[in-house]
Amino acid sequence: MQHIQEHYVQPLNMRELAQMANMSIAQLERYFHKVFHLTPRQVLLKTRLDAATALLATNEKVTDVAALCGYTDHSTFTRQFKATVGITPTEYRALWQSTGTRADGGSAANVSNV
């Protein structure tokens, strides 16, 4: 988990992550599901979207936010953000600016929609 949180900008390498945990990939996936009720990829997505919601409160361009959160394609970022949060990053920013609070009630992403 710590590795994902510290390296979320990089692509997820399941083999490397499993080796670091001294597990097989299947064991690692079962462990994540048992402990976090999420797959490692879902944890990565949640971590990226948590970072994105914080960055959307700044003046960074949405395309820059996408890149800073590990997305090489901002349209993929926008699609995943909307599918998870319910609104686009631009709409999220506008809502955040108009209310001064995070649009998701404090939790950056509802990964149950992932």
The CATH architecture one would assign to domain 2-113 is: Orthogonal Bundle (1.10)
Collapsing DSSP to helix, strand or coil, 61 comes out as: coil
For the question of whether the overall pTM of this predicted structure is more than 0.95, the answer is: no
Q: How far, in Å, CA of 16 to CA of 55, rounded?
A: 28
Collapsing DSSP to helix, strand or coil, 60 comes out as: coil
Tell me: the pLDDT tens digits for 10-30? 888 899 999 999 999 999 999
Tell me: the pLDDT tens digits for 31-41? 999 999 999 99
Q: How many CB atoms lie within 10 A of CB 10?
A: 12
Q: What is the mean pLDDT of residues 55-79?
A: 94
H helices within 7-114, ranges in order? 14-20, 25-36, 40-55, 62-68, 74-85, 89-99
* Average pLDDT score, the chain: 86
Predicted confidence at residue 109, as pLDDT, reads: 47
List the chain domain ranges: 2-113
Does pLDDT of 102 surpass 50? yes
